[in-house]
Structure 1
Amino acid sequence: MPVPEAAVFERLRGYAAVDPAASRPTRTISEVFTGKPLGEVPVGTAEDVEIAFEKARKAQAAWGALPAKQRSAVLERYRELVIDNREFLMDVIQAETGKARWAAQEEVLALILAARWFAKHAPRLMAPQSVRGAFPVLNRTTVLHQPKGVVGVVAPWNYPAALAIGDALPALLAGNAVVIKPDSQTPYSALANVDLLRQAGLATDLLQVVPGPGSVVGTAIVDRCDYLMFTGSSATGKLLAEQCGRRLIGFSAELGGKNPMIVTRGADLDKVAKAALRACFSNAGQLCISIERIYVEEAVAEEFTTKFVAAVEAMKLGVAYDYSTDMGSLISESQLETVTKHVADAVSKGATVLTGGNARPDLGPLFFEPTVLSKVDDNMEVCRNETFGPLVSIYPVADVEEAITRANDTDYGLNASVWAGSKAEGEAIAARLHTGTVCVDEGYAPAWGSTGAPMGGMGISGVGRRHGDDGLLKFTEPQTVVVTRFLNLDAPFGLSQSVWQPMLMGIARSLRFLPGR
């Protein structure tokens, strides 16, 4: 399919929560594959954010008062619209990110899965929960979950639909309004989904997208939101955490990763080599949970390396709005520069390029070959720092123990992949890795797609979790309501304190015999 017409992007521009005055500064958004302009998006200001929050707070009151089932019905309709409009959404995602078609489909699938799971489970999670109180006979204790209010979402450019809208969905289902700051390079993916959500029945002011620079729009959102969800670099995450801490508001973040893969001598090397292509080079490696380090037992390292390099060299790069390519483009000059510098630094210090290592301007301005390095050591930038590009290093290790030790020797802890001779061995290794998710016999997709399970990072890879019960409940304030049935804790029937207090202690001691105490 061809890139969407200019009129499409002009229509999407209208969903930005920014004053459309002709005098408003704009930013040109270009097709990554070619550098040709797609359209212009107004640049938001702190005043735009303030207006968006004022509208959002007014809309949230009525939305938050609705039964959870009614909110879920809107998300169910949205899910069906995503399915019906999936080809269009993939076109928009590809145009402004440069990723291959199958990687764009990952985003659409992520939205479908998230909308379905959260819509199905929101009524359960938001329902009042009865718990055993201090004195079961005297009290009835209930836990309620109240919406936070207005949630801020600061989203990245690499998965601009799945991470902007995917984080907004549970926040909305919890009864909140949401204000999103998309990355300045990729606003259209979020705006296209705003269109679908409004078609599904979501009130205009409940979800607003304000494009603009992080220093202006992002800061204004942090200053006003009741909870912040961020996806991006660990360095920026630390700064935002400090800002949220000063305001004493909740904060959740998925941050960077330097994700390891472990391959043991019993693994099916043909299967590993094929799956590692997707694990390492999805979205040209611009994925927080992609693999950048491969630890292989020495007994099979040479054989695995030969098979993997051959598979990498068979990959097809190019520009295509269909499924005919395996890898697309990097998104920006800065990403191209980072990958180029990491390769050059490693080579200058003794690393070997087994395949790749070069930019491909013949394909497009920002293409870089999928690259495999060996003989990488701690003195090289690529060893410990996240590249966020199509670059992976292979490290032979003596045994599984060394592989685990080296995999854990990092400040990051987002995702890991394990390939072993048996599922039991793989699970045993997985349990010893310090990462938020581990995929056995896969790279990353099953863990991400398990929307009923928490997903997030350890160490400097994040705080909090998306997906699962926590992925919705973090957008709520738990409230405990205790109703005294017929007697409070004052001395009853005219008893003196000297009589009542020992009786009260006796009641407390007897509670240990009750089930669940």
Structure 2
Amino acid sequence: MTLPASVTDELLAAITARVPSTAGGTHKLTEVYSGEVVVELPQSTPEDIEQAYAAARRAQMTWSQWPVRKRVKVFKRFFKLLVERNDTIADLIQVESGKARRMAVEETVDPMMIMNYYLPRVRKLLAPTKRSGPVPLVSTSTEIRQPKGVVGIIAPWNFPFATGISDAIPALLAGNGVVLKPDNKTALSPLYGVHLLYEAGLPEGLFQVVCGDGPVAGPPVIDNANYVMFTGSTQTGRFIGQRAGQNLIGACLELGGKNPMIVLPDANLDETVPGALDAVFRNTGQVCMHVERMYVHDSLYDAFRQRFVAAVEDLRLGAAYDFGPEMGSLISPDHKDRVAEHVADALAKGATLVTGGNARPDLGPAFFEPTVLEGVTKDMLAGCTETFGPVVALHRYHSVDEAVRLANDTDYGLSASVWGTDLTAAAKVGARIQSGNVSINEGFAAAYAAKGTPSGGVKQSGVGARHGDQGLLKYTDVQNLAVMKKQVMTSPRDPADFAKQRDGMLKAMTFQSKLGR
């Protein structure tokens, strides 16, 4: 295919030149739609990554001393650049990921939503908080937020721009430097985002991008960091969490999911069917929070199944840099083969293919049809592990208790969806699901797009959260600055004086506790 006009050799050379690479060779980054090589992406050695951290630390020492309002000005300029260069960003996302145009455009918006939340709040979040100390009137204790230093971010290939840039914004606002390792397959859009940040006035060296295969680049990214932010598989998350623990640094891990959707007996199918279609097939099913298990009440099952399958078969697939296709490609032929393996395994073990189930080489090397299965059980790959593709399993249930039990019958707990017209009843069902995110009458976007509320997983789906106040504060250390105006806490040597001091302190604490009622 012909690349979009904005993706020029000059642009590719400018953004890939930021990757430090002394002896790491290159990776052939391809256009997903055609499989043709777009650029030879430089690869970073462990020594390159160590030097990238050193450069980021030098820049961070100055950046951390900037007043918060001065940092905010950089991001206000960055916001304007994102609006102006939106089409170019979407073009790069499509080239490297193969997703449909509408999904690429949605991804470009995520960093702007992040800034809309944090920019008006960051000064208050980072302002010192003064409290009373242990001795009333003569002592105080102040909570001071200090940046951790340099944050290592390991971003996935499914939303390279959103995670690579959006996760970095609160870290930078908090006064940190950043070293980002994107996936080799999808490094162009985050590199361009960093390019725009520097154009907006970010100090040179503060935001580094290193590239390389996970086993080579991952360990030095973790070992040189003061904190790690990772989005990806549970298996890799365990390794990162273990290594971060050995280094005594914090880590936030958003991991895999096997996300359920419950359709209650009073659900409005006119809204539920298109909502389910979006929840399953958005981004070709390559979303950590997308629905892979669907539980429909027996009274609605047949009607829902008929309408849902018809909608699935009506989806427009295609490889195009316009808004025609509704669903794009999978990320790579290897991933297409993994999705096909899950489907084949389910069918071999007794599941029924309702629709789809085939690769589409006529459209591109990594296309796979939207697929609906029935009869999927936990002994099948598609029943117990994350498929991460355009595949969903339909299940009947007879009681709400049964639906909740089935929804919770998984090691994962990232996202869940409940549909019903009685919002109070639906919310009560949602509260019973063991999941970090629950959306009522929406697939998952309502939860993820609520940037003011923390978003994370439970069970094997992660540790920590992005978004909300803690999504920024996690990138800081707390310093407790205690001040005594007069020394009154030294213990008297005389026993009688010690007893008198003790009685006075106990009375003061008793008085304070009464005020707190």
Normalised-by-shorter TM-score class: over 0.9
For 1:277 and 1:8, locate their aligned partners in 2 and report how far apart those are by CA, in whole Å: 36
TM superposition shift of 1:17: 3.2
Whether 1:508 and 2:512 are equivalent positions in the alignment is: no
Distance, in Å, in 2 between the alignment partners of 1:429 and 1:131 is 40
Q: Deviations over 1:192-228 (max 9, x none)?
A: 1011100110012110000111112111111110000
Aligned partner (choices 17, 21, 24) of residue 18 of structure 1: 21
Q: Which moved more, 1:4-13 or 1:243-252?
A: 4-13
Unaligned runs of 5+ in 2: none
In the other structure, the counterpart of 1:255 is: 255
Residue correspondence of structure 1 range 87-98 to structure 2 within 5 A: 87-98=87-98
Contact 1:270–1:307 (CA under 8 A) maintained in structure 2: no
C-alpha separation between the residues in 2 aligned to 1:418 and 1:491? 60
Map of 1:51 onto structure 2: 51
**Paired residue type of 1:513:** K
TM-score normalised by structure 1 residue count:
0.96
Contact 1:73 1:119 in 2 (8 A): no
What is the DSSP-based 3-state SS (H/G/I as helix, E as strand, rest coil) of the residue aligned with 1:453?
coil
Say whether the 8 Å CA contact 1:153–1:181 is kept in structure 2: yes
Q: Which amino acid aligns with 1:232?
A: G
What's 2:204 paired with?
A: 204
**2:141/2:482 contact within 8 Å kept:** yes
Give the C-alpha shift of residue 491 in structure 1: 5.9
Question: Which secondary structure state, in structure 1, belongs to the residue aligned with residue 211 of structure 2?
Answer: coil
SS for the counterpart of 1:152 is strand
SS at match of 1:161: helix
CA contact (8 A) 1:6 1:38 kept: no
Displacement of 1:24: 5.4
* Structure 1 residues 124-203: aligned runs within 5 Å: 124-203=124-203
Q: For the Cα contact (< 8 Å) 1:79–1:116, is it kept in 2?
A: no
How many percent identity over aligned positions? 43
The equivalences for 1:113-128 within 5 A come to 113-128=113-128
**1:225 corresponds to:** 225
Q: How many residue pairs end up in the alignment? A: 513
Deviation at 1:36, TM superposition (A): 1.1
Following superposition of structure 1 onto structure 2, how do residues 53-68 of structure 1 map, counting pairs within 5 Å? Answer: 53-68=53-68
- Per-residue CA deviation, residues 310-354 of structure 1 (Å, 9 max, x unaligned), is 000000000111111110001112211111111111111111111
CA distance in 2 between partners of 1:136 and 1:500 (Å): 14
In 2, distance between residues paired with 1:157 and 1:499?
Answer: 66
C-alpha separation between the residues in 2 aligned to 1:85 and 1:61? 30
Which sections of structure 1, spanning at least 5 residues, go unmatched? Answer: none
Measured in 2, the distance between the counterparts of 1:132 and 1:310 equals 64
Task: Note closer, same or farther for the CA distance 1:508–1:237 as it changes in structure 2 (3 Å cut).
Answer: same
Structure 2 length-normalised TM: 0.96
Q: Deviations over 1:427-453 (max 9, x none)?
A: 111111111111111111111111111
Give the corresponding residue for 1:499.
500
Runs of 4+ in 1 over 3 A off after TM superposition: 491-495
Partner of 1:7: 10
State how 1:484-495 maps to structure 2 within 5 Å: 484-490=484-490
Question: Residue type of the partner of 2:21?
Answer: V
After TM superposition, the structure 1 stretch with the greater mean CA deviation from structure 2, 460-469 or 261-270, is: 261-270
Q: Which amino acid aligns with 2:449?
A: G
Question: Which residue of 1 is the match for residue 214 of structure 2?
Answer: 214
Instruction: String of CA shifts for 1:7-37, please: whole Å, max 9, x gaps.
Output: 3222221222334xxx751111100011111
- Contact 1:91-1:321 within 8 A present in 2 as well: yes
Shift of 1:499: 2.9
Distance, in Å, in 1 between the alignment partners of 2:132 and 2:370 is 57
Check conservation: 1:257, 1:386, Cα contact below 8 A: yes
Q: Please, which moves more after superposition, 298-307 or 64-73?
A: 64-73
Q: Deviations over 1:367-407 (max 9, x none)?
A: 00000001112221111110000000000101211111100
Alignment CA distance shift 1:510-1:7 (3 Å): same
Q: Any conservation in 1 of the 2:134–2:140 contact (CA below 8 Å)?
A: no
Which AA in structure 2 matches 1:146? Q
Secondary structure at 2:205's aligned position in 1? Answer: helix
SS at match of 1:317: coil
Corresponding letter in the other structure for 1:290: H
Residue 27, structure 1, aligned to residue 30, structure 2: no
Deviation at 1:2, TM superposition (A): 4.7
Q: Whole-Å Cα distance in 1 between the matches of residues 132 and 428 of structure 2?
A: 37
Amino acid at match of 2:15: L
Whether the 8 Å CA contact 2:3–2:95 is kept in 1: the answer is no
